[in-house]
Amino acid sequence: MKGAQTKARPLSPHLTIYRPQITSVLSISHRASGFFLYFGLLIFSWFLIFSNLDATFAAGIVDITKSFFASIVGKIALFFWTLALYYHFCNGIRHLIWDAGYCFSIKSVKVTGVTVVIVSVALTLFTWFNGISTLVK
Amino acid sequence: MKTALKKVRGLGAAHNGVHHWWLQRVTAIALIPLVIWFTAKVVCTVSCNVSIDYILKNEFSLVLFALTLFTMLYHSTLGIKVIIEDYVHCKCAKPGLIIAINLIAWLTGIFLLFVIIKNFVALV
């Protein structure tokens, strides 16, 4: 009986029936951006490793990386890595504030959430207008 | 005082208490100044008209760069572990993936260590 009851029962939380809210969207975005950044860190690390430690690959790796980031796909990827880094950074500070026991009211959760989005987008645009775009030219 | 409750309170279901949770926060705090330094350095590369190689060509920058990379690697491996634990329910894939991310972290970390050593030796 237990088997029949537990089989194929819906799992909570029922994500599909919820209307997306700023709290839930920012929460999953924190995970998604962290996941995305993990691969960015690995790619960056292995670029450093091959270009520094392997003489046979060094020149080729640098050329491939340069042409990738000069392409439109590379630029879009780097743009989203910048955004993910700033978002995860700002929202991470928001999480640390919660860990310290502050800003738990619905109002402050919403206000800090909107602030995080505005600040991370602003920092991304600032970065792109002030450097990275010329760096990858 | 070694009651069952104390054992659960002390260590919990994962058998290492709040160790993982705590280190995730400690590395997060460490990354605040490090990420500010790193992004400022990259943005400054163009506006200050210096090469990005400057990070690897200066002892002080190289040490901060190493700290940034290793803290990021540790913080992100902890984070990916939580994601795997939450979303992968297969009894084979879950431990397999967790072992894999730990091996990737060690492999990447050791290689990065030699990148740092090589660049440091070249400076002194």
Q: Does the structure's ipTM exceed the value 0.85? A: yes
Q: What domains lie within chain A, and their CATH numbers? A: 25-135 (1.20.1300.10)
pLDDT tens over chain B, length 124 residues = 445 665 556 666 666 667 888 999 999 999 999 999 999 888 887 677 777 778 888 899 999 999 999 999 999 999 999 999 999 988 899 999 999 999 999 999 999 999 999 999 999 8
The partner residue sitting opposite B28, judged by closest CB among A92, A127, A131, is A92
Whether residue A38 and residue B47 make contact (CB cut-off 8 A), yes or no, is no
Chain B (57-76) residues lying within 8 Å, Cβ to Cβ, of chain A: 69, 72-73, 76
pTM of the model: 0.87
Q: Give the contacts of B109 (CB within 8 A, at least 6 positions apart).
A: B70, B73
Domain spans of chain B? 33-123
Whether residue B118 and residue A52 make contact (CB cut-off 8 A), yes or no, is yes
Other beta carbons within 10 Å of A93: 15
Rounded Cα–Cα distance for residues A128 and B83 (Å)? 30
Which of A9, A11, A14 minimizes the C-alpha distance to A24? A14
Residue appearing with tokens 């190289």: B62
